[in-house]
Amino acid sequence: MSILLGLLLVIVLFWVIGLWMRSGEDLSVYDHPVAPEAAKFFPCPDGPSAEHGAAVAEIQASQPESAGKNRKELLFFIRDFMENLAQHKSFEAEFRPVDAGGVNAEWVLAPGADPDRRVLYIHGGAFIAGSPVSHRSITSQFSSVANAAVLAIDYRLMPEHHRRMGIADCQTAYRWIQENGPAGPGPASRIFMGGDSAGGNLSLVMAAWARDENLRPVDAVVAMSPLTDSTYSAPSIKGNLNTDYMLGPLFGKLARIPPPLLAWFYLQEHRFRQSDPLVSPVRGDLSGLPPILVQVSSSEMLFDDARRYVNKARAAGTPARLQAWEGLLHVWQIFHPEVPEARQAFDEIAAFLSSVEAGRH
């Protein structure tokens, strides 16, 4: 009996500590529509475009190949799939490898881009995959709409490296880009920052970190389908599981793990509490940040991550905006230029950056 009682106490303690590791602010107070002046919705009454449908079909065709793979095999499958996204595309932009203060990176320059205008771009890939090459469809177009040189960084990935090392690479690149451009050392006239999914998470983390370090803030941040809460507790994580054709099949099983058990798993994998603002930027102080544009699909698992972040940021006085498209893939912008909705998203990014430079936040 004493052994069973001891085992029960251990299980209870394990459970309670797991709950504590994901505890924090009640973010459900931000589960309301964003104020009309800061929100823009793009409905698709007839459904997404045929080109978007083709992108969905491409994603779904790859999923049977991932079935039955062990964890290591799945990791390499995801990495190979992402690297091949831009394999058969041609770009007008120029790509220049560069050492960004010890971080591997590449400069991306659209024709005529101003080298003194710069963008720090942090790619997505669930912190385990992706590279500057995989995201050239995004970075080349970002360079064009921002009329700027884009620094796409190859930060260290998990599981070979701890999550903190990837964050450190972003911090190094953030400092470096302020005084270095594609032509060599020199201050930037404008600096923007962008990222998608995991990279959107890191870009929002960097914005708060730069404020806390009293560094020069970027002029604006663009986050595409960002993960903002690593407790995975927003309603859309489960509510949109079946409509997120990209994240659902790959990470849907995580949504079914009991929260305390997931907290322990997360601590082992990432070396962070789930609610730490360094991995859950929505759980930090969102005041005093630069203008932020968040783009997301209302059908993806991270929809409420985006909405909660924008609502909390605005409540803290930060000029944040939300743009939501109906029925689209997670990070559909990566299918530029083939998908019309991706072209539309970049048109909106261009308009946002122009409004920031004109002082209209």
Domain boundaries, the chain: 34-357
Q: Which residues contact 45 (CB under 8 A, 6 or more apart)?
A: none
What integer pLDDT is reported at residue 254 of this predicted model? 73
Task: Of 201-210, 248-257, 298-307, give the lowest mean pLDDT range.
Answer: 248-257
Please state which of the ranges 42-46, 71-75, 96-100, 188-192 shows the lowest mean pLDDT: 71-75
At residue 255, the pLDDT reads 73
101 phi-psi bin (left φ>0, alpha ψ -120 to 50, beta other): left
Residues in the chain: 361
With a cut of 70, say whether residue 302 has pLDDT above it.
yes
Query: What is the rounded average pLDDT for all residues in the chain?
Result: 92
Taking the chain, what is the end-to-end CA distance rounded to the nearest angstrom? Answer: 65
The four Cα atoms 138, 341, 146, 277 give a dihedral, to 10 degrees, of: -70
Asked whether the beta carbons of 176 and 103 are under 8 A apart, the reply is: yes
- Among candidate residues 137, 140, 144, 197, the one labeled active-site is 197
pLDDT category of residue 21 using cuts at 50, 70 and 90: low
Assess whether pLDDT exceeds 80 at residue 131. yes
Catalytic residue among 52, 123, 135, 330: 330
- Looking at residue 62, its pLDDT comes to 82
pLDDT at 31 exceeding the cut of 90: yes
pLDDT reported for residue 1? 59
Residue-wise pLDDT tens digits, 265-289: 777 777 878 899 999 999 999 999 9
Concerning whether 336 is annotated as a catalytic residue, the answer is no
Task: Look up 37 and say whether it is catalytic.
Answer: no
Residues 208-213 have a mean pLDDT of 98
Give pLDDT, residue 25.
86
Q: Could you tell me which residues are beta bridge partners of residue 151? A: 107, 120
Percent over 70 (pLDDT), the chain: 94
pLDDT per position as a tens digit, 316-334: 999 999 999 999 999 999 9
User: What are the b/e assignments for 95-117, b being 16+ CB within 10 Å?
Assistant: beebebbebbbbbbbbeebbbbb
Which position among 52, 135, 275, 300 bears the catalytic label? 300
Residue 240's pLDDT is 95
Structure tokens at 339: 């998908």
pLDDT value of residue 114: 96
pLDDT the model gives residue 18: 63
User: What pLDDT does residue 9 have?
Assistant: 62
Apex CA 227: angle with CA 332 and CA 218, to 5°?
90
| 354 pLDDT higher than 70 | yes
- 279 backbone φψ class: left, alpha, beta (φ>0; ψ -120 to 50): alpha
Superfamily of the domain at 34-357: Alpha/Beta hydrolase fold, catalytic domain (3.40.50.1820)
Q: What is the pLDDT of residue 170?
A: 98
Residue 135 annotated in active site: no
Residue 14 clears pLDDT 60, i.e. is over it: no
